[in-house]
Amino acid sequence: MVAGAIPVFFWKRTAYYQYEWFLPGEPASYSVYIDRNAVKNGTASIKEVLGRFSAAEVREMREKVIDSIPKFVYGNGGGLRDAFDVAIEGVMRRFKEQEGWGYKWK
């Protein structure tokens, strides 16, 4: 994804849940999901699934990936939100969501 490639995932936990802070909101806007069990049992063909996307759809997905690259890498403080910023914001959000924490976040 850092090179602008559209990811193809075979297990939702691979990215959609594990890295949700770093990825755009709607998974279908930047990636392709193919159920791994469907591939294993022969009810889905990777080539056929990928072949269903038009050139325009691929272009839109690639642009979404490219727009998200700063959130995947660590920057040098050039003013863009980088992976560090996204991770810290996510951790702080989790703290706020937890009940019983002694400190009240603003």
Spans of all domains in the chain: 1-69, 73-105
Gap between the terminal Cα atoms of the chain: 34
Quote the longest CA-to-CA distance of the chain. 53
E strand or H helix that includes residue 90: helix 83-97
State the Cα–Cα distance between residues 70 and 92, nearest whole angstrom: 20
The pLDDT of residue 3 is above 70: yes
pLDDT tens digits, 23-77: 888 999 999 999 999 999 999 999 999 999 999 999 999 999 999 888 877 776 6
Burial of 31 (0-12, 13-18, 19+ CB in 10 A): buried
pTM over 0.75: no
Q: What amino acid is encoded at 14 in this protein?
A: T
